[in-house]
Every structure is written in C-alpha cells, then in structure tokens.
C-alpha cells in the first residue's frame, strides 16, 4: 500500500497507533477509501496511478499527510469513545481544503502529470486538448 504504519506516528499517540495496527484489515480498507477520495480531487490534472505507486521518499509528503488524516478520520469511530474526534475532524477538514485548492489550481504540488504513451509530450497545465479543423478554401 501507499501508506506505512510509520506514517501515522506524526499525528497519533502510541496508544492510537497500537490500536490502529492491531486491526490491519480495517485500516487497509480505510486507506483504500482515503486514496480514492484523494484521487477524486487530483485525477483531473495529475496521474493518480503514478502518485500512489510511489514508495518511500519518492512520495509527496502532503499527499501522505492527507491520506493519513483522511484514514484516521474514517477510523476514529472505532477508537474508545471516538477518542480525539474533534482533532481528527479538524485535520480532515484541513486536508480536504488543501485538496480543493489543488483541484481549483490554487495550489500546485509536485506530482506527476499526464503524459503521452510514448513519453514525448507532457501536459503540465491541463490534460484537455483543443483545436480546430483546417480552414476550407471554398474555391470551386
């Protein structure tokens, strides 16, 4: 998967981290949902498959943090007494706000953009192509 258990250490207490790592199947399901949610915001401009195929230090730190925050928000209800729900909700809202900025081109993270299959053409601004037909001469 894109996330590792160490990625959670920056926003989790030791108890929360132990609770999360004890239930790996549910964590993996929440991670998959978080990745799909992030992809829905970035896939119009960036190659989401390449973004989430990255490993180690090649991953974008903000995308990793967003994935962690969204995953924890999805899982917070299984912690005792929804422990830290307000904090998780705040971090979730911050992550979604940043993803909306990326979607609206107000933020431009260093993510792989779409490129042609042969790799000769890269569209750094927009994957939408436009153009027109050659003009007709109408000389009979």
In a domain, 113, yes or no: no
Q: State how far the alpha carbon of 33 is from the alpha carbons of 69, 73, 95, in Å.
A: 12, 11, 14
In a domain, 112, yes or no: no
In a domain, 128, yes or no: no
3-state secondary structure of 129: coil
pTM of the entire predicted model: 0.77
In a domain, 137, yes or no: no
CA–CA distance, 14 with 69 (Å, rounded to integer): 16
In a domain, 81, yes or no: yes
Mean pLDDT for the stretch of residues 92-117: 84
In a domain, 120, yes or no: no
Question: DSSP alpha helices (H): ranges in the chain?
Answer: 14-22, 24-42, 48-53, 61-75, 85-103
Asked whether the beta carbons of 79 and 27 are under 8 A apart, the reply is no
Q: What are 19-41's pLDDT values in tens digits?
A: 777 778 888 899 999 999 999 99
Q: How many structural domains compose the chain?
A: 1
Q: Show the domain range for 92.
A: 5-103
């Amino acid at each position: 998967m894109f996330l590792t258990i160490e990625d959670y250490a920056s926003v989790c207490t030791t108890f929360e981290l132990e609770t999360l790592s004890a239930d790996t199947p549910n964590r993996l399901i929440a991670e998959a949902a978080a990745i799909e949610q992030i992809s829905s915001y970035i896939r119009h401009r960036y190659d989401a498959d390449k973004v989430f195929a990255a490993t180690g230090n090649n991953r974008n730190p903000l995308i990793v943090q967003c994935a962690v925050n969204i995953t924890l928000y999805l899982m917070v209800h299984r912690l005792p007494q929804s422990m830290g729900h307000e904090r998780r909700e705040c971090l979730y809202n911050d992550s979604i706000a940043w993803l909306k900025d990326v979607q609206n081109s107000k933020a431009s993270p260093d993510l792989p953009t779409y490129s042609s299959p042969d790799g000769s053409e890269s569209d750094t601004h927009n994957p939408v192509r436009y153009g027109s037909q050659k003009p007709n001469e109408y000389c009979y």
